[in-house]
């Protein structure tokens, strides 16, 4: 079975929408796209970046940005699709491969919530293989069994490092899974937090496996969540299936212009500094958490956040809110009772959080007094 055989037949059969901009070069006198001849506002910088003026439709997949990101993510030409964040990549994959009412995705709760939303929006079933109730580790045996079984899901979502548990996907397990899934199931590895971990990207496995898709994003380690820019890395056959349903101009001109700047040498230098500062601040946060008697369990993970189980997530959230700090709890996730996820912020932000932990009423009264006097 080829990859295309796994796609929804109506997607394979459809003739993709052909936009004016994709049919001809943006040169000479352009009277083919019902654009305005004038832009009312203009961005000088955008023109320097060769992204074109605002009155023109943007290039559907900006060639220079695609090339920058392919180089950065270490994949050959033709292996990358620009998307509006990884959220759009998740949605495109589910819509291309899952027939409503017939196919399923595999999810491993507790996990990132968008996999479930994309499946529900598409009318796909959700096969849940819960993580281990104490360690929160993946149930690898059960996942392999489902993928190799009689009714495999069409798409399986893995996250490395995972959110909110922070763990990496084991390489030999992934290889086993990809092999078991050949011709039956698309394996998605969401690498939204990859830059925070020294582990290499799984995009290198694209050479061997055509049923793999890797998701990357500029939202986290590029400090650009507001930009809404990410990418799907996959074999050209999968990229061309996804291109059939992506809107004709997914990335706005100012987005492309700003994204290009994230790949210039100065931004790269800044990113290195940012990543090492996050790593240092994470150690400060972990040390503080480990000293608190009300912190029962900590999952340090490999990303820019920490998951911890405390005496009462609701009370800690309240207390932090009182101190002007917002952290995350998971009241609806069965395995995350009294767990909180804390994002590693700046040193000043983490110092404020550590202070809030010290004054949390769950603490022994002496230590609170001591802190107040000091
Ligand atoms: C934050 C996050 C993303 C990012 O989504 P964008 O749409 O790129 O902002 C993707 N996957 C996971 C697991 C995340 O935690």
Residue range 243-298, pLDDT digits in tens: 999 999 999 999 999 999 999 999 999 999 999 999 999 999 999 999 999 999 99
Q: pLDDT tens digits for 32-54?
A: 999 999 999 877 766 666 788 99
Contact 155, 234 (CB under 8 A): no
Whether pLDDT at 370 is above 80: no
Closest-lying ligand 1 atom to the alpha carbon of residue 111: 13
Say whether 178 sits in a helix, a strand or coil: helix
**pLDDT score for 373:** 44
- The answer to whether the CB of 301 is under 6 A from ligand 1 is no
Contact 277, 221 (CB under 8 A): no
Give the distance, in angstroms, between the CA of residue 207 and the centroid of all CA atoms in the same chain. Answer: 22
Q: Which of 81, 82, 85, 92 for mutating ligand 1's site (highest number of atoms within 8 Å of CB)?
A: 85
Q: pLDDT tens digits for 110-163?
A: 999 999 999 999 999 999 999 999 999 999 999 999 999 999 999 999 999 999
Closest protein CA for atom 12 of ligand 1: 192
Q: State the distance from the centre of ligand 1 to the C-alpha of 87, rounded, in angstroms.
A: 6
Q: Which of 94, 112, 162 for mutating ligand 1's site (highest number of atoms within 8 Å of CB)?
A: 112
Contact 155, 94 (CB under 8 A): yes
Closest protein CA for atom 6 of ligand 1: 85
Q: pLDDT tens digits for 323-366?
A: 999 999 999 999 999 999 999 999 999 999 999 999 998 655 44
Please tell me the distance from the alpha carbon of residue 231 to that of residue 216, in angstroms, as a whole number: 5
Q: At 198, which helix (H) or strand (E)? A: none
């Amino acid at each position: 079975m080829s990859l295309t055989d796994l796609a929804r037949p109506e997607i394979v059969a459809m003739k993709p929408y052909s936009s004016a901009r994709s049919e001809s070069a943006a040169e000479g006198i352009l009277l083919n796209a019902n654009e305005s001849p004038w832009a009312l506002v203009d961005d000088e910088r955008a023109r320097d970046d060769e992204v074109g003026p605002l009155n023109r439709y943007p290039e559907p997949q900006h060639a220079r940005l695609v090339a920058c990101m392919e180089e950065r993510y270490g994949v050959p030409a033709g292996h990358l699709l620009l998307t509006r964040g990884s959220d759009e990549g998740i949605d495109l994959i589910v819509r291309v491969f899952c027939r409503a009412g017939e196919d399923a995705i595999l999810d491993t709760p507790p996990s990132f919530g968008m996999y479930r939303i994309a499946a529900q929006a598409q009318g796909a079933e959700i096969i849940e293989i819960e993580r281990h109730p104490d360690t929160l580790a993946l149930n690898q045996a059960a996942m392999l069994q489902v993928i190799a079984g009689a009714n495999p899901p069409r798409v399986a979502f893995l996250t490395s490092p995972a959110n909110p548990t922070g763990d990496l996907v084991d390489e030999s397990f992934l290889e086993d899974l990809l092999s078991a899934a050949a011709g039956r199931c698309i394996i998605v590895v969401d690498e939204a937090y990859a830059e925070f971990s020294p582990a290499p990207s799984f995009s290198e496995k694209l050479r061997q496996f055509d049923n793999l898709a890797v998701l990357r994003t500029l939202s986290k380690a590029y400090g650009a969540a507001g930009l809404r820019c990410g990418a799907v890395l996959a074999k050209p056959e999968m990229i061309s299936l996804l291109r059939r349903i992506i809107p004709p101009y997914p990335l706005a001109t100012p987005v492309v212009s700003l994204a290009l700047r994230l790949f210039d040498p100065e931004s790269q230098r800044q990113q290195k500094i940012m990543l090492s500062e996050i790593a240092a601040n994470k150690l400060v946060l972990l040390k503080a958490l480990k000293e608190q008697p009300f912190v029962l369990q900590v999952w340090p993970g490999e990303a820019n956040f920490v998951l911890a189980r405390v005496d009462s997530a609701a009370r800690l959230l309240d207390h932090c809110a009182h101190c002007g700090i917002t952290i995350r709890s998971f009241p609806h996730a069965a395995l995350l009772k009294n767990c909180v996820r804390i994002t590693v912020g700046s040193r000043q932000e983490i110092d404020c959080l550590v202070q809030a932990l010290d004054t949390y009423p769950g603490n022994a009264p002496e230590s609170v007094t001591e802190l107040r006097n000091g």
